[in-house]
Chain A
Amino acid sequence: METGNGTLLKVRDLRTYFETEDGTVKAVDGVSFELQRGETLGIVGESGSGKSVTNLSIIRLVPDPPGRIVGGEIVFAGRDLLRLTEDEVRKIRGRRISMIFQDPMTSLNPFMKISKQLMEMTRLHLGHNKAEAHDHAVKMLETVGISDARARAEDYPHEFSGGMRQRVMIAMALSCKPELLIADEPTTALDVTIQAQILELIKKLKQETGTSVILITHDLGVVAGMTDHVVVMYAGKVFERAPTRELFALPGNPYTKGLLKSVPDPSAEQGRLYQIPGLPPDVAHLKPGCPFASRCDRVAEICRREFPPFVRLNANHHSLCHFAAEVYQESRAESSDAS
């Protein structure tokens, strides 16, 4: 991967571990990826894959203890966030990097008017006075599509629906024009019609502001429609990394392939769905070898013995698998058969 002027974020060999009664949980273990300015990167994975911890690490919000970032670099706009003091990080967090979470109700203060919560952001980070901050808050609410924003700004969070609360979160996250927006499952708690609204809104605002986005989700459909690049995580590791179109068309990892096949396709016949057997591994007790070996349909002897290499399939496409090249070739053959 080239580091051009366009690189906003470069995560290299990130390791975030948790000390638990059950031993050390390597929640994130050697994760690397890059994000270019203006791009959207999707991070996909199932529960326990480390996708959320990766992003908590980027904004330095890993609860310590029990969590600790034990290694790696997170270079944001040329500076390694892991080497900054807590004060320096606080100036970046919320201003240059902001985030929205799955459940907007738990991220909003229930006792504070919407306007006040929005005003806090710009008063703190942009030095707005009260009147400026209030005007800005109303403008942001209008931007995210809250009708009658001036009046609604004086409401409390419980007076808003789930979709509107998520709009408020987005307004808050974007109020200081951040360079990076991290959205962790931003639509998982919402209905599909509201999800469609929120995703369209994120797309539109991204185009207007040029903000880069990291979108964490378990929904491959959302990834397909929203992202330029994808990182697939499993058991704290990056299993595959590729441009979005390439990943869906030519997956080079058996786990990715299995995931893609196990989503029901409305245009296909009904019948037995492909299923990945077994359960995600217990990250506290990983066996040697590939963490996916026990669930993999092409497991070989070497997979149970040796940790797989991160194979470069082309300049932008990597896969963590002993048989990455073969899997990639098979995907090629399948896609030319289909067309």
Chain B
Amino acid sequence: MTEPSGLIPPLPPPSATPLGEPLIAIRDLTVHFKTGKDRVVKAVDGVTLDIRKGETLGLVGESGCGKSTLGRAILRLTEPTAGQVIYRGQDLAHLSARQMREQRRHLQVIFQDPYASLNPRMTVGQIIGEPLATFKLARGREAEQRVQELMETVGLSKRFVKRYPHEFSGGQRQRIGIARALAVDPDFIVADEPISALDVSIQAQIMNLLERLKREKNLTYLFISHDLRAVRHVSDRVAVMYLGKLVEVTGARTIYDEPLMPYTKALISAVPVPDPEIEAQRRRIVLQGDVPSPLNPPSGCRFHTRCPYAIQICREVEPALVEIKPGHSAACLRISPDSPDIDRVPSGEAPGLV
């Protein structure tokens, strides 16, 4: 972090052609964790991405790929090591703690575990009302009124205002977390695995609630999840992450119907479909091996150890995220705008080969 705060160098062009105005422009964002002498986990390693105003951008990947760290780094809940996060003409990554606190009013987060993210000693009313006091948005009678409105908005009965988090189910707790995030009237919400801990019937309720709120309040979401079905359903665009890097970015429809990257293809083919007829017929790309440790990521393309198409160059050269088709970027050395179809590429000689 060398640039003084407030001074923003010109933006490099984003990887995909923006259709809407970017609300948040992430440039070469890097988060490294030191885990001992000379040991560094590159949790997020040079991510460039635009989050457009009014969109839901889905961020998918397997555990340890850095998706949550990226979400947290945007909001400075985790300090970025390098790079920029441009929001309203300011670089969030380089604001002072005090300046950042002011911005938090507009930038909120919903966590996966509604059990761990609510203070068990505070009533629902206090939890939802706290941000109103913190940002001096309302007090007294007005604050109470506002809390009640928020509870109604997220589908919680006003009667529960004096109850404690443990008296609620997981889905209701997630509603409390959403109400708290909405209290400050934010522009942008990072939803970090907001439905993963919930039952199937409750997942649908929370997804619908998030969508309704987005429409009503003109919100922009970064929706982080390992659940491709959910991401495909709620997102306008989807970014796929693997070991700290973005490997594919495109529209939510396209990612499912015409994925380019071998990793994305494997990820989609691994998702079970709730239809026995389809399940009986479908051919699965079963990736061999585990996700490598981010402590010691593979050289070249990080996916080469599991990729059925990997050849020698994939072990040596790190692919950049480039636009292969309009609005569709991928990081893969074996495809290009001239030959975007990986299935037409001869398979490689990597261990991932089945």
Binding site for B on A (CB under 8 A): 46-47, 161, 163-164, 191-197, 199-200, 218-225, 244-245, 248-249, 258-260, 262-267, 270, 272-277, 279-280, 295
Which segment, of B145-153, B205-213, B313-321, faces chain A?
B205-213
Query: What is the bound-complex CA distance between A329 and B284, given in angstroms?
Result: 34
Please state if B270 and A192 are interface contacts (CB–CB under 8 Å): yes
Ordered by A's residue number, 12 sampled pairs between the chains whose C-beta atoms are within 8 Å are: A193-B286, A196-B270, A196-B287, A221-B279, A224-B273, A224-B278, A225-B272, A263-B200, A264-B207, A266-B229, A266-B273, A273-B207
- B291 in the interface (beta carbon within 8 A): yes
What B residues does A265 contact at CB under 8 A?
A: 229, 274
What A residues does B288 contact at CB under 8 A?
A: 197
What B residues does A195 contact at CB under 8 A?
A: 270, 272
What A residues does B32 contact at CB under 8 A?
A: none
Please state if A191 and B291 are interface contacts (CB–CB under 8 Å): yes
Binding site for A on B (CB under 8 A): 62-63, 169-172, 199-205, 207-208, 211, 226, 228-230, 232-234, 252, 256, 266-267, 269-280, 284, 286-288, 290-291
Please state if A192 and B271 are interface contacts (CB–CB under 8 Å): yes
Please state if B226 and A244 are interface contacts (CB–CB under 8 Å): no
Known: A220-B274, A225-B272. 17 other contacts (CB 8 A): A47-B170, A163-B290, A192-B62, A197-B286, A221-B279, A223-B274, A225-B276, A245-B276, A248-B275, A262-B200, A262-B203, A262-B204, A265-B229, A266-B273, A270-B234, A272-B208, A279-B169
Please state if B205 and A275 are interface contacts (CB–CB under 8 Å): yes
What B residues does A245 contact at CB under 8 A?
A: 276-277
Please state if B205 and A224 are interface contacts (CB–CB under 8 Å): no
Please state if A193 and B267 are interface contacts (CB–CB under 8 Å): yes
Please state if B276 and A191 are interface contacts (CB–CB under 8 Å): no
Query: What is the bound-complex CA distance between A265 and B277, given in angstroms?
Result: 14
Whether A263 contacts B229 in the complex (CB less than 8 A), given A221-B274, A245-B276, comes out as yes
Query: What is the bound-complex CA distance between A280 and B278, given in angstroms?
Result: 30
What B residues does A194 contact at CB under 8 A?
A: 62, 290
Please state if B199 and A264 are interface contacts (CB–CB under 8 Å): no
What B residues does A218 contact at CB under 8 A?
A: 199-200
What B residues does A280 contact at CB under 8 A?
A: 169, 199, 201
Q: Which residue of A has the minimal Cβ distance to B274?
A: A220
What B residues does A249 contact at CB under 8 A?
A: 277
Query: What is the bound-complex CA distance between A264 and B256, given in angstroms?
Result: 13
What A residues does B234 contact at CB under 8 A?
A: 270
Q: Which residue of A has the minimal Cβ distance to B272?
A: A221
Please state if B276 and A222 are interface contacts (CB–CB under 8 Å): no
What B residues does A196 contact at CB under 8 A?
A: 269-270, 284, 286-287
Closest chain A CB from B196 CB (angstroms): 10
Query: What is the bound-complex CA distance between A248 and B202, given in angstroms?
Result: 20
What B residues does A197 contact at CB under 8 A?
A: 286-288
Whether A263 contacts B274 in the complex (CB less than 8 A), given A192-B62, A192-B226, A200-B286, comes out as yes
A193, A200, A267, A274 — most chain B CB neighbours (10 Å): A193
Q: Which residue of B has the minimal Cβ distance to A274?
A: B204
What A residues does B269 contact at CB under 8 A?
A: 196
Q: Which residue of B has the minimal Cβ distance to A261?
A: B204
Closest chain B CB from A4 CB (angstroms): 24
Please state if B199 and A47 are interface contacts (CB–CB under 8 Å): yes
B208, B252, B275 — most chain A CB neighbours (10 Å): B275
Partner of B274, one of A161, A163, A248: A248
Please state if B290 and A275 are interface contacts (CB–CB under 8 Å): no
Query: What is the bound-complex CA distance between A258 and B274, given in angstroms?
Result: 13
What A residues does B208 contact at CB under 8 A?
A: 272-273, 275
A195, A219, A225 — most chain B CB neighbours (10 Å): A225
Query: What is the bound-complex CA distance between A46 and B197, given in angstroms?
Result: 12
Query: What is the bound-complex CA distance between A241 and B250, given in angstroms?
Result: 41
What B residues does A220 contact at CB under 8 A?
A: 200, 274
Closest chain B CB from A255 CB (angstroms): 9
